[in-house]
Structure 1
Amino acid sequence: MCPIKLMVVEDDPVWMKCVCEYVEKEEDITVVKQAYTKEQAIQVNNEQVDIVLMDLSLTKDEADLSGIEVARKLYSKGMKKIIMLTSWEETDTILESFDIGAINYVTKTSYRDIPKAVRDAYEGKVSLHSDVSPILVKELKKERKIKVLTPTERDVYELKEKGLSRKQIAEKLYKSVETVKKQLKVIRSKIN
């Protein structure tokens, strides 16, 4: 069996070395490409690598593409097996990663799980790492719960979930505070 060809995209040389050395211990996985910059990453085509392990926080300055943007470009080029690697566990970042086509998401503190994630991705399995599965389940439950809300009520609900006060929601949505108060009451009755 030919080894799985992995490209690691990571701008931190220490992490790059750590991840590559750890993964290279596996007989069935070989790191064929190391990309330290977005330019190096997006030059690769899907004949050269089987799996991409993409660091999310590639940006060193405002002009650079983020890991999400690089992954989006790679996905549009036909690289469908991208695993996001990061130290972030923010819900929006996780959801955006999967929205652009990531097949898994592993935090750097769980780097020992990378070989399994690579094998699963190679086999086409969308396996959710334990770092993100509780977050995605929570988001799914929330989505199912708010299905009953009208688009206007969803707007109010989302802003309230972000921690905005009634007054801030009213200002943002160009409503009166009293209207927002009534809508929040309706939302609570629908959701509960």
Structure 2
Amino acid sequence: MDKIKLMIVEDDPVWMQCISDYIEKENNITVVKQAYNKEEALQVDYNNIDVVLLDLTLLKDEGDEENLNGLEVARHLYEKGLKKIIMLTSWDEKDIILECFDTGVVNYITKTSYRDIPNAIREAFRGKVSLHADVTNVLVGELRKERKIKILTPTEREVYSLREQGLNKSQIADKLYKSVETIKRQLRIIKSKMQ
């Protein structure tokens, strides 16, 4: 059987080397291309690539600021017909995870789970969309929270939402034209219902 041809997009040279060395130990996967930033990744000829392992936060060429430009690369690859993309990241936030899957990513793994990368590559190559434990734990936690939110009244949901946005009791009270004592009472009720 031919080896699975992998491209790695990773801005950290140390991580790039570690991941490449680890993957090259696999007898059915080979690293055929490497890109260290968004620009390099967008210029690659994708004809000879089966799977892409893509860092979510790539450093900008002109500076040190991180951003989520791996999403931009994922969208570009997907539009070019490369649909076997695994996002590699240190982020484990629900909204970012969902946005990655919206771009066509087939799996999402945090860097601490690098040992699971070879299996994820094989699954992606076979066309499987997978939820790594990193993703599953976050999404299940969010699903549980969303189910609990449904038992709140509309007013309680509004207070809960503002609290989740980082507003304190006084700010919530001002925004909803209520007293701080009313907000405190509602937050106690919300807490008891959410437990």
TM-score calculated relative to the size of structure 2: 0.78
Identity of paired residues, percent? Answer: 62
State whether residues 38 and 64 of structure 1, in contact with CA within 8 Å, keep that contact through their aligned partners in structure 2. Answer: no
Counterpart code for 1:29: I
SS at 2:105 equivalent: coil
Q: Which residue does 2:35 correspond to in 1?
A: 35
1:49-94 CA-to-partner distances (Å, cap 9, x unmatched) read 1211011121243597622222233223332221111223333332
Structure 1 range deviating more: 29-38 or 137-146: 137-146
Q: Which residue does 1:44 correspond to in 2?
A: 44
1:16 deviation in Å? 0.7
Give me the CA root mean square deviation: 3.0
Structure 1 unmatched ranges of 5 or more: none
SS at 2:134 equivalent: coil
SS at 1:18 equivalent: helix
Q: Which residue does 2:25 correspond to in 1?
A: 25
SS at 2:133 equivalent: coil
Distance 2:156 2:83 in 1: 36
Distance 2:78 2:11 in 1: 20
Distance 1:59 1:141 in 2: 35
Aligned length: 190
SS at 1:34 equivalent: strand
State whether residues 57 and 68 of structure 2, in contact with CA within 8 Å, keep that contact through their aligned partners in structure 1. Answer: no
State whether residues 166 and 177 of structure 1, in contact with CA within 8 Å, keep that contact through their aligned partners in structure 2. Answer: no
Counterpart code for 2:86: I
1:2-28 CA-to-partner distances (Å, cap 9, x unmatched) read 211111000111111111111111121
Q: Which residue does 1:137 correspond to in 2?
A: 140
